[in-house]
């Protein structure tokens, strides 16, 4: 019952936040330079004023901003995100078609970075005065400081061009017509480079956070008590130090999960991954305002959902706040 009230409370707050985000994004897009009607008319080879006015009337761009905003917000309530000028398709259909690819990429990168980051951070904390521990932290610093686009390009050059181990772009082999397990393995092979590239930066953050949290937890009184009881060092590390060190990592992971959606824009563009990140880049270049607003809405909704999930997981992991007010 407590968790049900918590979820309802969070969802109500999320709806208000999402509405404010929708209004802010709409106003921001309207203030951006460039006229979609003029761009479409120029590409059609008929950039005269009459044709531009006709396009503006057709897409409702000739109406006042508050009228356009009202139509857009009321449309969202009925899951009508408008029509893409350039793709000639409903925005919702375009996003739902690309969303699974982005969730697959970001989900894989998130799990990979979290598991490897916690593992590397634990090893670094256990070897704090050894050369191996310093090496782990040096690699984490390297991954943290290296630009994501450079890592992506170098990964393509090394593993695709020189070694020819992994495909350089796409989500699956075009024209192969694979099905079942063969198709899943083909997608997994294409997923290795973009997921690893996207996850390296976040893995470095989790490594540094895990090490710092474990070193801090190791100084607490309950660890001294466990040592006095004669427990094995590995048991103390796993059951007492790591378990308590995971609490700040859970909070950080919830924040980083939302940021991965934004980081996927660059990764999807470099690797030609057919997700909403690449779709956002294409919409931005084409001044497709309806599509941009729809992508912003879904990106914000995903971030909010990740934060709600993090809040619930944190309450499950820390019994001290289970009875806290929602």
Closest by Cα among 262, 98, 113 to 171: 98
**pLDDT tops 70 at residue 204:** yes
pLDDT of residue 320: 62
- CA 320 – CA 326 distance, rounded (Å): 14
Delineate the domains of the chain, giving CATH numbers in brackets. Answer: 91-321 (1.10.3720.10)
Q: Model confidence at 58, in pLDDT bands (50, 70, 90)?
A: low
pLDDT digits (tens, 9 = 90+) for 71-112: 788 888 888 888 887 777 888 888 888 888 888 988 898 889
Burial class (CB in 10 A: 0-12, 13-18, 19+), 294: buried
- Quote the Cα angle for 78-84-86, to 5°: 175
Least confident of 272-276, 312-316, 318-322: 318-322
Closest by Cα among 111, 59, 51 to 82: 59
Q: Are 303 and 258 in contact (CB under 8 A)?
A: yes
User: For 299-321, what is the mean pLDDT?
Assistant: 76
pLDDT of residue 322: 55
Q: Model confidence at 42, in pLDDT bands (50, 70, 90)?
A: low
pLDDT of residue 132: 85
Buried b (16+ CB within 10 A) or exposed e, 33-46: eeebbbbbbeeeee
Is the model more confident about 173 or about 52? 173
- CA 52 – CA 50 distance, rounded (Å): 5
- CA 304 – CA 320 distance, rounded (Å): 24
Q: Are 125 and 209 in contact (CB under 8 A)?
A: no
pLDDT of residue 325: 45
Q: Which residues pair with 117 in a beta bridge?
A: none
**pLDDT tops 70 at residue 55:** no
Q: Model confidence at 274, in pLDDT bands (50, 70, 90)?
A: confident
pLDDT of residue 36: 65
Closest by Cα among 262, 274, 247 to 198: 262
Structure tokens at 116: 């490897």
- CA 27 – CA 76 distance, rounded (Å): 16
Q: Is 90 helix (H, G, I), strand (E, B) or coil?
A: strand
User: For 44-60, what is the mean pLDDT?
Assistant: 65
Query: CA 228 from chain center: how many Å?
Result: 44
187-192, Cβ contacts within 8 angstroms, sequence gap of 24 or more? 187/104, 190/166, 191/104, 191/105, 191/108, 192/166
Percent of the chain whose pLDDT exceeds 70: 86
The radius of gyration of the chain from alpha carbons, rounded to an integer in Å, stands at 24
**pLDDT tops 50 at residue 303:** yes
Highest mean pLDDT of the ranges 15-19, 178-182, 231-235: 15-19
Q: Model confidence at 241, in pLDDT bands (50, 70, 90)?
A: confident
Q: Which residue has the tokens 């992991």?
A: 317
Count of beta carbons in the 10 Å neighbourhood of residue 285: 9
């Amino acid at each position: 019952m407590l968790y049900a009230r918590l979820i309802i409370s969070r969802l109500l707050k999320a709806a208000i936040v999402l509405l404010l985000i929708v209004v802010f994004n709409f106003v921001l897009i309207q203030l951006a330079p460039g006229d979609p009607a003029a761009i479409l008319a120029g590409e059609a080879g008929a950039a005269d004023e009459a044709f531009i006015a006709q396009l503006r009337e057709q897409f409702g761009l000739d109406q006042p901003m508050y009228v356009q905003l009202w139509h857009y917000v009321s449309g969202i309530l009925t899951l009508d995100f408008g029509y893409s000028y350039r793709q000639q398709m409903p925005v919702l259909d375009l996003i739902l078609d690309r969303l699974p690819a982005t969730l697959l990429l970001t989900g894989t990168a998130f799990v990979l970075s979290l598991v490897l980051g916690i593992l590397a951070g634990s090893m670094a904390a256990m070897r704090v005065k050894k050369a191996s521990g310093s090496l782990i932290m040096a690699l984490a610093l390297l991954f943290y400081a290296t630009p994501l686009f450079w890592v992506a390009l170098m990964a393509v050059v090394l593993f695709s061009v020189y070694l020819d181990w992994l495909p350089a772009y796409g989500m699956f082999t075009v024209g192969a017509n694979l099905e079942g397990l063969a198709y899943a393995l083909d997608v997994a092979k294409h997923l290795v480079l973009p997921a690893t590239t996207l996850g390296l930066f976040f893995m470095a953050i989790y490594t540094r956070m895990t090490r710092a949290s474990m070193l801090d937890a190791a100084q607490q009184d309950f660890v001294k008590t466990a040592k006095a009881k004669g427990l094995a060092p590995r048991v103390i590390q796993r059951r007492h130090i790591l378990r308590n060190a995971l609490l700040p990592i859970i909070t950080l992971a919830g924040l980083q999960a939302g940021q991965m959606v934004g980081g996927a824009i660059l990764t999807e563009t470099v690797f030609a991954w057919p997700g909403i990140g690449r779709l956002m880049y294409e919409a931005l270049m084409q001044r497709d305002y309806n599509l941009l607003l729809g992508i912003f809405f879904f990106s914000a909704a995903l971030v909010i959902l990740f934060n709600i999930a993090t809040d619930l997981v944190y309450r499950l992991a820390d019994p001290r706040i289970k009875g806290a007010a929602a």
